[in-house]
Amino acid sequence: MTTRWKLLMEYDGRAFVGWQRQENGLSVQQALETALTRLTNGQVVQTTAAGRTDSGVHARGQCVHFDLEKSFSAETIRDGLNAHLRPYPASVLDACETTPDFSARFDALQRSYLYRIVNRPSPLTFERGLAWQVPFALDTEAMQQGAQYLIGKHDFSSFRATQCQAKSPVRTLDRLDVTREGPDVFIHAEARSFLHHQVRNIVGSLKLVGYGKWQPEDMAKALAARDRRAAGPTAPPDGLFFMRVDYP
């Protein structure tokens, strides 16, 4: 009897070309599916994730589902996969059986991302690759004001990658907040789904507001243009974390 499993994972995106299998390097999906084949002594397993993170993007709360033919305990799935994932920087935090029709991707009600900027002149040492170091002072209050123009249902053509394959550029952004804790600037984004590079393109635009090159209302102008050339540059993947996905 086939059992559908649901995993909660975290990983350091620096070691991978992204979630999805690709020909140019190791993906999280490939590492996990290889671990599953070893755990099951030969079953070829196909996995589906809630979010297809890009190369260099990290995850704290990635959700994955897959089907297994053999019976296992949740502890065996978790610990066995973690053993077979070594030495890659990916970890299964939790495993549980779920309903046969559950989809990590299509059943998601909300996805939450966090982008971290370290706003200081000195370069990063211990956290290199885990945040975006911006040396010049950022006005986070202005960034927060600019962010609010993007809340709601809009055509986000200006903030999606030119190679984005989504059928529609319309998305509903439920939260976009900019906060500061010392040198750390956090940008929180929540929506049911996101376009390719949407968060990173928004962050790149908000940095222009923080630096004073843009006024907060320029975010609204960029949105209204519905043209990628009207928005700011794409922020690096280093500071982006897929934090959580909510289900019914």
Residue 122: is its pLDDT beyond 90? yes
pLDDT at 99: 97
Residue 44 lies in a domain: yes
Q: Same domain, yes or no, for 90 and 129?
A: no
| 70/116 same-domain check | no
**The dihedral of CA 207, 211, 213, 218: what is its sign?**
positive
The token duo for 194 is: 């996101």
pLDDT score of 192: 97
Contact 245, 53 (CB under 8 A): no
Within a domain: 104 = no
pLDDT confidence of 143, banded at 50, 70, 90? very high
| Sign of the C-alpha dihedral computed for residues 168, 218, 233 and 242 taken in this order | negative
Indicate if 215 and 118 belong to the same structural domain: yes
pLDDT above 90 for 50: yes
Each residue's pLDDT tens digit, 52-80: 999 999 999 999 999 999 999 999 999 99
Query: What are the CA-CA distances from residue 171 to residues 56, 193, 195, 197 (Å)?
Result: 24, 7, 8, 13
Q: Please give the Cα distance from 210 to 144 (Å, whole number).
A: 9
Q: Same domain, yes or no, for 132 and 230?
A: yes
Where among 98, 121, 154 does a domain terminate? 98
Compute the average pLDDT of residues 178-190.
98
> Which domain does 78 fall in, by range?
3-98
Same domain, 83 and 115: no
- Residues that are catalytic: 54
Co-location of 225 and 144 in the same domain: yes
The reply to whether 103 falls in a domain is: no
User: Does residue 219 share a domain with residue 185?
Assistant: yes
Task: Give the residues across from 91 on adjacent strands.
Answer: 10
Q: What is the pTM of this model?
A: 0.94
Residues 87 and 149 in one domain: no
Average pLDDT over residues 21-48: 95
